[in-house]
């Protein structure tokens, strides 16, 4: 999948997906010290400042930035962090969240009147069968509640994708930085409501160097480096050459969780991963194969 890219650009793309995949282990580590909603609020606060002093606000409506920030902040990452505290393992979270691809297709069918192609239906069925395998093997490390929360987070991510599509061609790094401003207030309010002032103060005062490093990984590594480098690659290469590399995110997520946190990888988990990633790969590459065959 990286053959179309020069070696240095392929290495950069792999570095980005490695950061995004390992990020799930980083999240789990920080959740040992910080309440999840507070953690998410800090992530977006540090993604906005000081980067906003150097990254120009994109030429889109404030309403668009606010909608996206709320969906991605409180919706995607807020729910993901809550689920990962005790209800789903990092490896499975990195896999299940990728179903945002199919939620994006579903929302496009509802709001943009797009039609589901047969190959997309097959890809969706493959991924859904992987989720069924996960649901059938829930237990102490992954619960149905955790699975539902991450699926809802994926739905929020998909809704955010539609917001960016309607915004048109905008600088993605600036869009991420400035929308982060609007992720902070709802997350702070939710943290005050559900986690409480005492937990917030305790989390901040007891957070050590490792915890703050994890927060910086979220804001600087995930957002500024990750989205900035990805946008740079997409500006220089076709999306068909760059996008497939993102399928390695759950591979890095599951492998890093197994190596650093000792997350077990039984056969059912590998089968589920193969089904979900297979569905994603089929959805991404099959249209290219069909066009090539027709040509």
- Tens place of pLDDT for every residue, the chain, 295 residues? 444 678 899 899 999 999 999 999 999 999 999 999 999 999 999 999 999 999 999 999 999 999 999 999 999 999 999 999 999 999 999 999 999 988 988 888 888 777 878 888 898 899 999 999 999 998 778 999 999 999 999 999 999 989 988 888 888 889 999 999 999 999 999 999 999 999 999 999 999 999 999 999 999 998 889 888 988 888 788 777 787 888 899 999 999 999 999 999 999 999 999 999 999 888 877 766 666 666 6
Tokens of 16: 């980005």
pLDDT score of 16 = 93
Q: Is residue 122 part of a domain?
A: no
Q: Is residue 132 part of a domain?
A: no
How far apart CA 76 and CA 218 sit, in angstroms, is 14
Q: Is residue 283 part of a domain?
A: no
Q: Is residue 215 part of a domain?
A: yes
Q: Is residue 275 part of a domain?
A: no
Q: Is 220 exposed, middle or buried (0-12, 13-18, 19+ CB in 10 A)?
A: middle
The one-character DSSP state at 137 is T
Q: Is residue 54 part of a domain?
A: yes
Enclosing domain of residue 240 = 7-115+143-264
Q: Is 294 exposed, middle or buried (0-12, 13-18, 19+ CB in 10 A)?
A: exposed
pTM of the predicted structure, to 2 decimals: 0.91
Total domains in the fold of the chain = 1
| Closest among 65, 96, 68, 69 to 80, alpha carbons compared | 96
Report the alpha-carbon angle 133-135-136, nearest 5.
65
CA distances from 255 to 20, 27, 147, 212, 265 (A): 13, 15, 19, 24, 9
Q: Is residue 229 part of a domain?
A: yes
Provide the b/e sequence for 249-279 (b: ≥16 CB within 10 Å). bbbbbbbbbbeeeebeeeeebeebbebbbbb
Q: Is residue 64 part of a domain?
A: yes
How far apart CA 190 and CA 171 sit, in angstroms, is 30
CB 273, CB 95: distance < 8 Å: yes
């Amino acid at each position: 999948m990286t053959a179309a890219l020069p070696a240095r650009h392929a290495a950069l793309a792999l570095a980005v997906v490695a950061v995004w995949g390992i990020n799930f282990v980083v999240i789990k580590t920080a959740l040992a010290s910080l309440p999840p909603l507070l953690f998410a609020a800090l992530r977006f606060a540090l993604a906005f400042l000081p980067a906003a002093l150097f990254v120009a606000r994109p030429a889109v409506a404030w309403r668009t930035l606010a909608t996206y920030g709320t969906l991605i902040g409180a919706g995607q990452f807020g729910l993901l962090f809550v689920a990962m505290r005790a209800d789903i393992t990092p490896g499975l979270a990195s896999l299940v969240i990728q179903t945002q691809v199919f939620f994006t297709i579903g929302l496009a069918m509802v709001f943009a009147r797009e039609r589901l192609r047969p190959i997309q239906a097959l890809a969706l069925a493959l991924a859904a069968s992987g989720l069924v395998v996960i649901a059938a093997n829930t237990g102490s490390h992954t619960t149905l509640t955790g699975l539902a929360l991450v699926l809802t987070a994926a739905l929020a991510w998909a809704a955010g994708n539609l917001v960016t599509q309607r915004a048109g061609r905008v600088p993605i790094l600036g869009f991420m930085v400035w929308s982060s401003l609007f992720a902070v207030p709802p997350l702070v309010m939710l943290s005050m409501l559900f986690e409480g002032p005492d937990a917030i103060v305790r989390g901040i005062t007891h957070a050590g160097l490792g915890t703050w490093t994890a927060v910086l990984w979220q804001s600087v590594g995930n957002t500024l480096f990750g989205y900035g480098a990805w946008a740079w690659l997409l500006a220089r290469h076709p999306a068909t050459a760059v996008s497939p590399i993102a399928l390695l995110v759950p591979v890095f997520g599951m492998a890093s969780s197994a190596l650093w946190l000792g997350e077990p990888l039984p056969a059912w988990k590998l089968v589920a991963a193969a089904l979900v990633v297979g569905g994603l790969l089929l959805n991404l590459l099959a249209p290219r194969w069909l066009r090539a065959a027709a040509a």
